[in-house]
Structure 1
Amino acid sequence: MSVLLFKIAIAFAGSVITGGMLRFRNLIDRINSRQQTSVLVLFFVLFRVVPFLIVYVVLQLKARSDVPIFYDAAVNAMRGKIVYRDFWTPYSPLFPYATTLLLWFWNSAEALIFQMILMEGLALWLTWKVYRPEIRDSFVRLLSYLVLPGPLVLCVLGGQEDIWMWLFGVISVMAWQRTRDSLWIGVVMALALITTKALAVLIVVPMLFLVEKPLRYIAGLAVTGLPALGILVMLVGDKFLTPLAFADMPFAPNLWTVLSPLIGDFQPYSKILSWVGVGLTVGISSLGAAVLKQRMSYSKALPILWSLCFCFMMFIHKSSFGNYAFIFLMPMLVNVIDVNNIRHVAALILFNAVVVVHPTYWWGLKTPIFTNWSQLVSTENLIDYLMEVLLVGCLAYFLTLLYRIISHGQHLQTDRLIKLGSTDLRMNHDRGN
């Protein structure tokens, strides 16, 4: 079976499992709180560890996607070489060194995929620990995340590292809950910048408008980030800026690739559009952060801000593509998607299914950017374009949900209704007695 057909099968099976689980969630609700952690661990083993063993141990398939790039950089890091100077990586300076963890025991590209699974598991565990007492239905939300086809494929087959960014995000929430000091949020996010990828800066700036004490937050960023920057400049000069070259490369899908048959080739304006995408993402996210700060706590607001930032980036930036969904799917399920709303669930499942299939299909077509309607006469090209429209349409839908949550405080209204409903029940109970 080809990789594409395999992914189509996973997309279909994962969609059916997710839809069925949420359709009969009354059975999940019967699981008592003491058993929930064990069930989460079981689902993680079934939907992450077991697929890894089947694909890479039983079938003995080789790592694909970006994993060979990770592996080459990690091997150089193991040999004590200096990042950017002695070897190249498109990621942050500490990333190659962090990915050597399992290579000392199993020197294989597949070991990196298993490390990505473990890191996703850590992000899931900490998210569960933080949001279990904070968010209603957090159990079914995180179970849904585990069975969705998108994260499964992006993590196990793609070995993607994007979930590391949210790992630092949830650690920042833990730091805030323990210290109530914005300085430690800044320290954690500075570590995210030097450990994951340059995209982290898109959320680091808007968080300035979300934290309680912005100057303390900036101090936290500086106390960690400035020494790291100084060491980098001393060792490699300006070579640490080389990963930014990726921002000039066109990827699909995003708003520009969907509009391109209508407006013509946007690639001559790539550099301008890159800065437009960055500026709009940071600006819109910062505005959202300022509103959220007035409505809810940092811990509840961060998943919403995170989803806004990276949904909008994936929608507007001309270098965005399907794999970036891995950045925000977990936080979006934590506090954005209403798992009781059939439209939310349908959009989530459709988005995940297309995210699984489109990147492989697009790369198989040699990464086309359609600049004329005549190119869509081809059935293969038309299928690709329709998938792009579906993905961008789902992102637009998610952004609409986020706008309603942020501007109208729908979460707060829901909480009030729950409290009012509970009060009415108590009053009726008292009258009955």
Structure 2
Amino acid sequence: MPILTVFYLKLIINLGLTLGIIWTISRSELFAKWQLEKDKQIFLLAFVIFRLIPWIGIFLVINEDPRGDIPFFFYKAEAAKKGGFVYRDFWSYHAPLYAYIISLPVWIWHNARAIVLFMVLMETGILWLTYQTYKERSVKALQLAVIYLMLPAAFMYILVDGQEEVWFWGAALLIWRYTLKNKENYEVGIGLLYALTLLTIKVTFIFLLPALLVVVKRPVKMLLVMAAVGIPAVGFLYWQIGDLFLMPIQHTEQLMTPNLFSVTRPWVELVLHINEKKSTMINWFGLLFTVFVPVYMAYKARHKHINEVLPGIFIACFVCMMIFQASAMGAYVIAYLMAALFEIIDIRKTGHIAVLIALNWLTVVQPFVWVYIGQPAYTSPAMFANPLFLFEYLLQIMNVLCFFWILRETYRKVVLSPKLSVA
């Protein structure tokens, strides 16, 4: 199917999903009733309508080939299935265990579509666990779960492209649930969970660690537990493949959009020329802010229990990554979209709904437009004489403004909200 046709279909689907979101928001009392009486049935029905049937239609009826990162994931899964050693026998920009995990569905069905379905099932499992965690806290939990399944960004990036970033929230959710059940002496448990996450998904999850260490009561104990798992794992990898296990770090050097650097670059270039082939320093500079802002928030909220602030700190960490990392791209919104919906979006407020819908539309539209017009790097304001460039640049600005809005609301939730009792 031609790429423009796919894009137009995505816009039509986005419109339908948006109308569904608006209808769902208007039925709060109905969903509150369902949450008490038949939440499992409604959740399953929503999954079937917004995930399973579309997957069948796209990949079995229309017979579309998976797009995005899925072909590369399938390459890794095939190599892992054949017994290859990660980084040595096949390329991977993920943690060492990731390729072996995504090879599991390929053992059942040797097809890239199996990985997409696996991603959908993983996302649904994380959503169900999120709902279970929030339903005792909010009568709107089921309503939010159904809204999430209709969010255009989640629909497109996970159902169509098979992105895995939602796994970050899944890992943070497990850590958070552990602290909810163990209000004291939780460092060993979350240290183990954190170390296993770093071996399972992506090294990017390390961005959360500095802020987490600020809010735990015994940070040294947590680090020692992580080291007890991580050092033997790294030692084994080095013994087998030398420094090839550093391969995932190389993936952070490519400049992407939208982020603060991509929208300020036309004006920065008036003063300082940026060499794209030597962009490591830019990412290191962005990394400072990516780490500093969540650490600052954690420090300001250090008097609160970790289970009060962990979801907010997680959101802040990954929204900061999208703002400040020059290598960040729109698909990374999937990392914190579910958490942000449940934690900081108030569907009773029109402004919150407007930002949520705008962010989802922008996340779907802007990357396509940017790629379609040749992935321009705006190195001069003069480039905006081209209307297409100006249009795409404005999309980037709106995207980044949405990111800052989420960061502001998260700051209010983590730092300014009153301290809760943990008794």
Common fold by TM > 0.5:
yes
Residue 288 of structure 2 corresponds to 279
Cα distance change, pair 34–210 in 1 and its aligned pair in 2 (3 A): farther
Residue 297 of structure 2 corresponds to 288
Residue 69 of structure 1 corresponds to 72
Residue of structure 2 aligned with 1:13, choices 4, 12, 16:
16
Cα distance change, pair 130–293 in 1 and its aligned pair in 2 (3 A): farther
Residue of structure 2 aligned with 1:270, choices 253, 266, 279:
279
Look up the equivalent residue of 2:255 and give its one-letter code: P
Q: Does 1:351 align with 2:356?
A: no
Deviates more, 1:65-74 or 1:131-140: 131-140
Residue 426 of structure 1 corresponds to none
Look up the equivalent residue of 1:243 and give its one-letter code: P
CA contact (8 A) 1:300 1:335 kept: no
Residue of structure 1 aligned with 2:414, choices 392, 395, 406:
406
Cα distance change, pair 136–96 in 1 and its aligned pair in 2 (3 A): same
Residue 26 of structure 2 corresponds to 23
- 1:32 CA drift (Å): 4.4
- 1:205 CA drift (Å): 2.6
- 1:171 CA drift (Å): 1.3
Q: Does 1:199 align with 2:214?
A: no
- 1:142 CA drift (Å): 1.9
- 1:203 CA drift (Å): 1.0
CA displacement 1:271-327 (0-9 Å, x = unmatched): 2220111121111111212333423x4334221111111111101111111000000
CA distance in 2, matches of 1:123, 1:217: 24
Q: Does 1:243 align with 2:248?
A: yes
Look up the equivalent residue of 1:356 and give its one-letter code: V
Q: Does 1:234 align with 2:239?
A: yes
CA distance in 2, matches of 1:212, 1:45: 43
Look up the equivalent residue of 2:315 and give its one-letter code: S
Residue of structure 1 aligned with 2:61, choices 58, 78, 91:
58
Q: Does 1:176 align with 2:179?
A: yes
CA contact (8 A) 1:303 1:334 kept: no
Superposed, which structure 2 residues align to 1:17-416 within 5 Å?
A: 17-135=20-138, 137-179=140-182, 180=184, 181-264=186-269, 265-267=273-275, 270-295=279-304, 297-409=305-417, 412=418
Look up the equivalent residue of 1:345 and give its one-letter code: I
CA distance in 2, matches of 1:23, 1:267: 50
The aligned length equals: 412
Unaligned runs of 5+ in 1: 417-433
Deviates more, 1:172-181 or 1:238-247: 172-181
- 1:60 CA drift (Å): 0.2
CA contact (8 A) 2:215 2:298 kept: yes
- 1:135 CA drift (Å): 4.3
CA contact (8 A) 2:309 2:414 kept: no
- 1:45 CA drift (Å): 1.8
Percent of residue pairs bearing the same amino acid type: 28
Residue 427 of structure 1 corresponds to none
- TM-score, normalised to structure 2, is 0.93
- 1:178 CA drift (Å): 4.0
CA displacement 1:355-379 (0-9 Å, x = unmatched): 1122222222232211112222222
Structure 1 vs Structure 2 CA RMSD: 1.9
CA contact (8 A) 1:277 1:318 kept: yes
CA contact (8 A) 1:253 1:388 kept: yes
